[in-house]
Chain A
Amino acid sequence: MSENAPVPIDENLLHATVKLNTLLFAGVCGLMAGLALLCATYLSLYRGLPNPGHYLNLLGVFLPGYSVSTGGAWAGFLWGALLGAISGAVIYRIYARSIRAQVADYFAGNRSEDALEFAVVKLHGHSLGLALGGIAALGLLITTNWLVIRGTADESVHAALFAHYLPGYAVSFPGSILGAVDVFVITYLLCFLLGLIYNGVVALRQNGAST
């Protein structure tokens, strides 16, 4: 087998590891999203404001059963966990496409076997951007069109505020498509930045440790 031949990968092993990590990532995302919504609701409840959860209550339009109340906080936890887990699974599935590239990088880099034992995750900004950007764009598309379908598009003054940041966005079907494109681009760029900074700090720390 020549040195330049493509790296042979055991497809069953790759499939099994991606499946396992999808489950784990979905679990972590679900827990984080559920806890975030639970904490935000309790914070809003006990902040002692005259009208607690004035804005957070609007989430009840999309998450049936949710409200800024003790019971609603736990409904929010369940919704957050469910949506977080689904998003996490989709994100990891898309991100996992970069594993082949990472394996190829390993062989191209001619690294020592020790590198395998102490491997640190390298973030693939492009894959992460595609995954998170896709989820964010889909989320905006679904939520906006839900407002259109239920006939409250004209009253959705808060959703319309997104137009400040997303050129062309409006609470309408064409507006949601333009907004989704904007959200995709912004999320992709932020993920790319995240990957650059993360990989840069990892490289700095590894260089610092080796000298």
Chain B
Amino acid sequence: MQKLMHADKAVLMAAFARMDVVALAVAMGTVCAVGLVLLTVTLLVKGAPPDMHIGTHLGLLGIYLPGYSVSWGGSAIGAVYGWIIGAAIGFAWAVLWNLTHYLYIILVVARAHWWRLMAD
């Protein structure tokens, strides 16, 4: 019986556990940085036919990310941008996820109090 109660608590724990904001920001930042570097390096390694630029389309990211280009130096700058953008997304995601849970729990507790008040 006690194990069943613990199992219930563990299910709720798994479902309502809070997201670590810093960890998700770091993880998302790193994955985005690695992703952008891989995208750039793939084009650099494959190269382009003679008298054609490498990464004409990917290079357009430079419009939004000043300093970025499809080059070895550009991939390093892209990694920094990728990390910052990924970290911002991860931060926002974790904060929103935690916030929705907090709001839901506040709503449930307030509703329970309201019904108890009505019953009294």
Contacts and interface: CB of A to CB of B under 8 A. Distances in A.
Check if A and B associate.
yes
Interface of A: 1, 7-10, 13-14, 17-18, 20-21, 24-25, 27-28, 31-32, 43, 47, 49, 55, 99, 102-103, 106-107, 116, 119-123, 158, 161, 164-165, 190, 193-195, 197-199, 201-202, 205
A121 B20 contact: yes
B20 A24 contact: no
Contacts of B30: 193, 197
B100 A198 contact: no
A201 B66 CA distance: 30
Contact of A55 (B9, B20, B24, B60): B60
A121 B19 contact: yes
Contacts, number: 119
A138 to B, nearest CB: 20
B31 A103 contact: no
A17 B7 CA distance: 13
Nearest to B34: A193
Given A116-B10, A122-B17, 5 more contacts: A24-B97, A28-B93, A103-B14, A116-B9, A194-B27
Contacts of A28: 93, 96-97, 100
Contacts of B9: 116
B15 A20 contact: yes
Contacts of B17: 119-122
B11 A190 contact: no
Contacts of B89: 32
A190 B33 CA distance: 11
Residue among B7, B43, B92 with the highest chain A CB neighbour number at 10 A = B7
A202 B8 contact: no
Contacts of B60: 55
Interface in B58-112: 60, 63-64, 89, 92-93, 96-97, 100-101, 104
B92 A32 contact: yes
A165 B39 contact: yes
Contacts of A55: 57, 60
B93 A103 contact: no
A55 to B, nearest CB: 7
Contacts of B97: 24-25, 28
A126 to B, nearest CB: 15
A200 to B, nearest CB: 8
Top 8 nearest A-B pairs (CB, nearest first) are A201-B23, A17-B15, A198-B27, A119-B17, A197-B27, A119-B13, A102-B14, A103-B10
A116 B23 contact: no
Contact of A201 (B20, B31, B34): B20
A198 B23 contact: yes
A151 B6 CA distance: 58
Contact of B96 (A10, A32, A47): A32
27 contacts: A7-B3, A9-B8, A10-B8, A13-B8, A24-B104, A103-B7, A103-B11, A103-B14, A106-B13, A107-B10, A116-B9, A116-B10, A121-B17, A121-B18, A121-B19, A158-B57, A164-B42, A190-B34, A194-B28, A195-B27, A197-B23, A197-B26, A198-B20, A201-B26, A201-B27, A202-B20, A205-B20
